[in-house]
Amino acid sequence: MEINELTATTVWQLSEEDAFLLTGKIMNEIENKEERNNLIKIISLAFDFRTVSKSKKAMIQSLSLLGFKFFAVENEKALLRGLCKRKNAKQSVF
């Protein structure tokens, strides 16, 4: 999905990997901070995000059991970003 196709409806079609890649694209390509924040909020409607140190293996394992999928953060060798798709717009894992 392209950035210009992202809406509160279309965000639910994304997988965790797609949401991670689109978030990176937004952060790298959108210069306007307000627009960037609005797009991240749209992704947050459908996904919970957690950033975790790679050394926190127990936390990563616990979050994985809750459905989080982890990805390497660009330019941050010690961090992983976890994403978990919500079942509905009001649900949170925690």
In whole angstroms, give the CA distance from residue 46 to residue 24: 16
92 part of a folded domain: no
Tens digits of residue pLDDT in 51-80: 999 999 999 999 999 999 999 988 889 999
pLDDT of residue 59: 97
pLDDT of residue 87: 87
Domains contained in the chain, number: 1
In terms of residue numbers, what domain contains 7? Answer: 3-85
pLDDT of residue 1: 87
In whole angstroms, give the CA distance from residue 92 to residue 21: 21
32 part of a folded domain: yes
Tens digits of residue pLDDT in 18-48: 999 999 999 999 999 999 999 999 999 999 9
93 part of a folded domain: no
- Which pTM was predicted? 0.85
Tens digits of residue pLDDT in 8-22: 999 999 999 999 999
